[in-house]
Amino acid sequence: MRRIIFAAATLAALSASMAQAQTAGSSAPSGQPSISTSPSDFSDTSLDRQTNYRRLDDEVAGSSRLLRQFPARLKDIEQGLEVRDAEGLVVGTIAKVANGFAVVASASGVGTVEVDVGSFARNKTGLLINLPKAKIDAMMTRAAPAG
């Protein structure tokens, strides 16, 4: 009798753990498509949809990697480098770097402005500053001596 009760309890525990494993294994993490392993569940449309999703995800991630911005370090800021605004327009060039500041000379010859080194960022295209070109030009003309 003890063997029968023990066998029944073992069978019940085994069934419960298998059911729990199936429930936990069938849910896919959020953001990831669920892929079934049975051959009858695979259809051309679901594979195409999954392939297209992964391709789109790679393309989006790849394009943002190219333009991703990083804080510029002091060694990244050198005399003669072009500085661009957030939209990619050339604001000017680095004229001088000293004491934690860089002097940016206008591309149009309007004037210069001192910028803290911490205000620069960099990406694949070079140095960036998070101000529109028009604002920087206005700051340069105000700083330029009159006549």
CA dihedral 126, 130, 132, 136 (to 10 degrees): -90
With a threshold of 0.75, does the pTM exceed it?
A: no
- What domains can you pick out in the chain, each with its CATH number? 71-143 (2.30.30.240)
CA distance linking residue 96 with residue 106, whole number of Å? 13
Q: What are phi and psi of 78, to 5 degrees?
A: -125, 155
Tens digit of each residue's pLDDT (9 = 90 or more) over 5-50: 777 777 677 666 665 655 555 554 555 555 555 555 555 556 677 7
Residue 53 pLDDT > 50: yes
CA distance linking residue 62 with residue 39, whole number of Å? 33
Tens digit of each residue's pLDDT (9 = 90 or more) over 87-145: 888 999 999 999 889 999 987 778 999 988 888 999 888 899 988 888 888 888 765 55
